[in-house]
Amino acid sequence: MHTRMRQTSLVSYRMNKGNTCEQRAYEIIATHGPLTDSDIAKLLRWEINRVTGRRNSLVRQGIVKKAGTIIKPDTNRPACLWGLDN
């Protein structure tokens, strides 16, 4: 017999299996809403390379998804926003 899990339960289950860096990246996105990789890096005080790997892993797991694109005012270049996949 198969039972359906609520989306929040599924995310919680997946995150408990993940590493603590993924958990911290997830919590920042969940708390602050859609963010760019550089925003996540600033909030966590991490190098950008540390962020992108963890965020990519969350995307592959279906926990995080692209939530749009913005033009960064400091660089005048486009950047992806990442948010939770509700």
- What local confidence, expressed as pLDDT, does residue 1 receive? 44
Q: Residue 74 maps to which CATH number? A: 1.10.10.10
What 3-state class would DSSP assign to 41? Answer: helix
First vs last C-alpha separation in the chain = 26
Q: What share of the chain is helix, strand, coil (3-state, %, to 5)?
A: 50, 20, 25
In a domain, 15, yes or no: yes
Closest CA to 86 of 63, 53, 60, 59: 63
Q: How many domains does the chain have?
A: 1
List pLDDT tens digits, range 15-67.
565 568 999 999 999 999 899 999 999 999 999 999 999 999 999 999 999 99
Q: Which domain holds residue 61?
A: 7-84
Q: Which residue has the tokens 């958990």?
A: 23
This prediction has a pTM of 0.77
In a domain, 39, yes or no: yes
